[in-house]
Amino acid sequence: MTRKSDPIKKLTPEEKENVTKTLRVCVTGAAGQIGYAFLPLISNGSVFGPHVKIQLRLLDIPAAVKALEGLSMELHDGAYPLLEDVAFGSDPEEMFKDCDVVVFIGGFPRKQGMERKELLSINGNIFKTQGKALDKVAKKTVKCLVVANPANTNCLILQQNAPSIPKENFTCLTRLDHNRAVSQLWKKTNMPLYSIKNVIIWGNHSSTQYPDVNHGTIAEKPIKKVVEDEEWLKGAFITKIQKRGAEIIEYRGSSSVFSAANAIKDHLRDWYHGTEPGTWVSMGVVSDGSYGVPKGLVFSFPCICKKHFEYEIVQGLHIDPFSQEKINITTKELEEERDEAFAEEKKPQEAAAGEQKE
C-alpha cells in the first residue's frame, strides 16, 4: 500500500525539519505477540514523534506471511496519517532494503527441555543470516535494536555479520529491565515516577543482570537515602528485577508483551530524540572497554543519547566492590555465551581487531 500523508500546516522550524523526514523501519517477528503490540506505537507517532513519516517493512517466517497480510490490513484500517507505506514478506534482503531502522523481535522461542546452547545455536543462525542480509541491502546508517533472546548475544552475532555497518549502530533491549527497576522503586517509596532517575542495568538481559541504584536519585536525593533500606536494595530489589520476566510468565502464562513493546518505544524514542538533560537510560551496546568490560561484548551500560541516534556511555562512575562483583558475574555469562556462539569461529574481538578500527 502506498499512501501520502495529509499536509500539515503551520509548523515550527523544528517541525518543518522533521516533517520532511521519512524513516523506513523493518520489524522482524512482526506476526508475533510483541510485534502486534508495537506496530500501533510506531504507526501513531509515539516512537519518532508526530511529524516523522514511516514506511513499514514487516518480516516473519514463510508460514506467517498470511498473518502479516492481515496485519497490513489492520494497519490500513488504523488510518494512521504518518504511515506512508507498508510491505511484508519472509525474505530479509527484500525487507531490509534501504532501511533506516530495524527492530529485531523475531526469533525462535525456548521450548521445554531445550538447552541454552541449543537456543543459542538456532537463534545464532537466524542472526547470522539476517546480519549478512543487513550488510548487503540496508543503508550503512541503519540503526538496529535487538529484542529477541538471548538479546545481547543475538545482537553481537548480528553486528559481527554486518561489518560494513558501524558497531555503534547495534543495540539490544534492556530498557524493560530499566523500567521495571524504576517502577519497583516507585512502589517502595511512593514518590512520583518521573522523579526517579538514573538507575542502571548492567550486563546481560538475563537473570545475571545487575540493577544498580548507587548513582540514581529520587527527587534529586540519592536513592539509598530515600529508600533507607539497604538490605532490600542489595537483596530483594535486585532479585525482583532479575526474575521479573519469569514472574510474569508464572502469573500470565506467557511472557511480557505490551510492557516489552513500550520499552522498545522508549529505547528508540530516546535514542532518536535524545535523553532528558541530566538523565541516562540503560541500553545494550557494543562495549568499548568502559568499566573493564571486554571490548566487543554487547553489554548494558548507562547511556546518554544525543539527537538523531547518537549515544555515549556514561563515564567515571565509581564502582564499589559489591557492584564490581555483580558486574563480573554478568560479564562472565556474556563471555560464555559469546564463546558458545562463536565456538567454530574466531572470537569477535579478534575478528574486530583485524577488520575494524576502534
Q: Which is nearer to ligand NAX, 126 or 157 (CB)?
A: 126
The pairing of strands 83-89 and 53-59 is parallel
- Integer Cα distance of 334 and 135 in angstroms: 24
Residue 205 is a binding residue for ligand NAX (CB under 6 A): yes
C-beta neighbour count of 27 within 10 angstroms? 29
User: C-alpha grid cell for residue 224?
Assistant: 539509598
Work out whether 151 is an interface residue with ligand NAX (CB under 6 A): yes
Instruction: Identify the residue among 133, 144, 226, 260 touching ligand NAX (CB under 6 A).
Output: 260
CA atoms within 13 A on the CB side of 281: 29
Instruction: Identify the residue among 22, 121, 183, 255 touching ligand NAX (CB under 6 A).
Output: 255
Among 101, 126, 158, 286, binds ligand NAX (CB under 6 A): 126
Q: Which of residues 17-76 bind ligand NAX (CB under 6 A)?
A: 28-29, 31-35, 59-61, 64
The CA-based angle 309-312-314, given to 5 degrees, is: 145
Please tell me whether residue 195 binds ligand NAX under the rule CB under 6 A.
no
- Comparing C-alpha atoms, which of 206, 291, 189 is closest to residue 244? 206
* Separation CA 179–CA 238 (nearest Å): 13
Binding segment (CB under 6 A) for ligand NAX, from list 12-20, 81-89, 143-151, 315-323 = 143-151
Give catalytic status of residue 178 as yes or no: no
Query: In a 3-state reduction of DSSP, which class is residue 311?
Result: strand
Residue 173 found at the interface with ligand NAX (CB under 6 A): yes
Q: Is residue 338 within 8 Å of 153, Cβ to Cβ?
A: yes
Q: Which of 51, 205, 215, 267 is catalytic?
A: 205
Q: Is 83 one of the binding residues for ligand NAX (CB under 6 A)?
A: no
Share of the chain residues as helix, strand and coil, in percent rounded to the nearest 5: 45, 20, 35
The grid cell for 199 is 538507575
Q: Which stretch binds ligand NAX (CB under 6 A): 45-53, 141-149, 161-169, 317-325?
A: 141-149
Selected from 71, 83, 86, 105, the binder of ligand NAX by CB under 6 A is 105
Contact positions with ligand NAX (CB under 6 A) in 227-246: none
Rule CB under 6 A: say whether 300 interacts with ligand NAX. Answer: no
Task: Say whether residue 144 binds ligand NAX (CB under 6 A).
Answer: no
Rounded CA gap, 251 and 170, in Å?
Answer: 33
Active site residues: 205
> Would you tell me which residues interact with ligand NAX (CB under 6 A)?
28-29, 31-35, 59-61, 64, 105-109, 126, 147-149, 151, 173, 176, 205, 255-257, 260
